[in-house]
Amino acid sequence: MSYEQARDQLTEVVKRLETGGLTLEESLELWERGEKLAAVCEEWLEGARARLANAMARPENGDDGAQAPF
């Protein structure tokens, strides 16, 4: 499942929980579903953070950080 799919489904779960009118069992099932979706989102975000950190750590255009000899 993509981040966007998980986020959208989580948004729907939250809306349903906030609306109320559910049985306790329905609420618990939705809560559990929301927790799983939140974990999927967090996994995607952690992966994105790691990719950004790796990209920022790499020198650009072959620049190894050494000073030009002038």
pLDDT digits (tens, 9 = 90+) for 9-50: 999 999 999 999 999 999 999 999 999 999 999 999 999 999
- Is the predicted pLDDT of residue 70 greater than 80, yes or no? no
- Dig out the tokens for 16 from the structure: 């349903």
- Under a CB-based contact definition with an 8 Å cutoff, are residues 6 and 39 in contact? no
- Is the predicted pLDDT of residue 3 greater than 90, yes or no? yes
Q: Rounded to whole angstroms, what are the CA distances from 55 to 25, 47, 59, 64, 69?
A: 45, 12, 8, 14, 26
What is the rounded distance in angstroms from the CA atom of residue 64 to the CA atom of residue 45?
29
Tell me the average pLDDT across 38-63: 88
- Is the predicted pLDDT of residue 65 greater than 70, yes or no? no
- Dig out the tokens for 61 from the structure: 């255009």
